[in-house]
Amino acid sequence: MVEVSASILSMKNENAIKTLYNLETSGIDYFHIDVMDGKFVSADTTSKMLEYCEYLNSISNLPLDVHLMVEDAKSYISSFLVFEPNIITVHLEAAKSKQELLEWINYIKEKNVRVGISIKPNTKIDEILEYLPFIHIVLVMTVEPGKGGQELIPSTIQKIKELSNYIKQNNLEVDIEADGGINEENVAMLRDAGVNIIVAGSSITNSNNFKETVTKLKI
Ligand code: DX5
Ligand code: ZN
């Protein structure tokens, strides 16, 4: 069964408290926090996500899954560590060097937080293989990062299969998380390709019954 990490990116501000409560009781496994800096991607969600994390920390029992779509990951990691997240994910493409990426990985691990590395749809699996022994999760973007409500890019499924085979063949303990355009129709295909955690935003928050939708996603 896949775990469900609910993205609150496309949640409407005016209903935020009610929506967060409905998500909390819907059976999701994590809150997925999409942090954007206006540089790595054009949108900037920094202050909004800091505010939501503060609120979730005070009311929620669920773990936070922080997805940093930012260039200056080091300072963002520090800002979000205070919320004691379960996962912090940085982007491979954001690091200027291998050394910088390894520094981010170590910094997150030192704080006993699970480390994820994310790759955009056009980044090849080969580029991430050398980091697998040092991380907990690969977050494969199934849409271009930057906004919610997009359609899943089919070529990303092949990448997930390739990654999943490599992880099995090398007896590694790395989870695969997929993010973007995931819904009741395509979730089985992702699970079969080897995904353990799916991120779902608009397919949950646009639905009438969160609990029902989450149950259908947890297959
Ligand atoms: C995209 C984000 C995703 C996305 C999920 O940049 O990382 O988490 O918004 O939302 P949906 O499920 O609507 O694609
Ligand atoms: Zn995300």
How much distance in Å is there from the Cα of 190 to the middle of ligand 1?
A: 15
Question: How many A from CA of 199 to the centre of ligand 2?
Answer: 7
| Domains annotated on the chain, with CATH | 3-217 (3.20.20.70)
H helix intervals, the chain: 16-24, 46-59, 73-81, 98-110, 155-169, 187-193, 202-205, 210-217
pLDDT at 12: 86
Give residue 60's pLDDT: 97
User: Which of the residues 37, 72, 179, 192 is marked catalytic?
Assistant: 179
pLDDT for the residue numbered 13: 83
Q: Which residues of the chain carry a pLDDT beneath 50?
A: none
pTM value?
Answer: 0.98
Burial (CB < 10 A; 0-12, 13-18, 19+), residue 46, is: middle
> What tens digit of pLDDT does each residue of 161-195 get?
999 999 999 999 999 999 999 999 999 999 999 99
Nearest CA to ligand 1 atom 3: 180
